[in-house]
Amino acid sequence: MFDHPPVRTFRIFVDRINEWWDQRLHPEARTVLEAAPGGDFKQLWSSGGAFLATVAQVDAPYRLRLVGPLAIARPAHSVVEITFEPTPDGQGTVLVLHHECIGAVSPDTGATYERSWQDLIGRAFADRLRAG
């Protein structure tokens, strides 16, 4: 749970993703999330970049759905749905992330993604949200 309402939590998640998304595919990578249907979730650097996913659905500030490879090197497809649920008093947000992946993935892919998401959301994003 985060001590900010969904509007603020969603905006920092989307608009300031480059400030907290620290899983970079290249030392110069800048993370971009175009939060509109069909928008790109990608990393860019001076000599190129990488496509991570397409924004399939946005219902700001409550839902974001991404579909794509999410940097898996093998043929695979991920669907990530992130919901920003208001607490009963409306002053906080419960962030719920659901990630499904199909394709040529290894047996430990699920556990690897779970650890990565917990670190990204529980540490990097939480720190950025607290900082304002």
Contact 18, 124 (CB under 8 A): no
Residue 96 lies in a domain: yes
Give CA angle at 61 (49, 81), nearest 5°: 60
What would the two tokens of residue 26 be? 């290249």
Spell out the per-residue pLDDT of the chain, length 132, in tens: 899 999 999 999 999 999 999 999 999 999 999 999 999 999 999 999 999 999 999 999 999 999 999 877 777 889 999 999 999 998 999 999 999 988 877 788 888 889 999 999 999 999 999 998
Helix (H) or strand (E) holding 67: strand 63-68
Say if 82 falls within a structural domain: yes
Residue pair 20/111 in contact by the 8 Å Cβ criterion: no
The count of structural domains within the chain is 1
pTM value?
Answer: 0.91
Give the angle subtended at the CA of 43 by the CAs of 40 and 48, to the nearest 5°: 110
Q: Is residue 77 part of a domain?
A: yes
CATH number at residue 106: 3.30.530.20
Which residue range forms the structural domain that includes residue 55? 6-131
Cis peptide before 107 (omega within 30 of 0): no
Residue 29 domain-assigned (yes or no): yes
Q: Establish if 1 belongs to a structural domain.
A: no
The answer as to whether 66 is a domain residue is yes
Does residue 50 form part of some domain?
yes
Determine, yes or no, domain membership for 67.
Answer: yes
Q: How far apart are CA 33 and CA 100, in angstroms?
A: 19
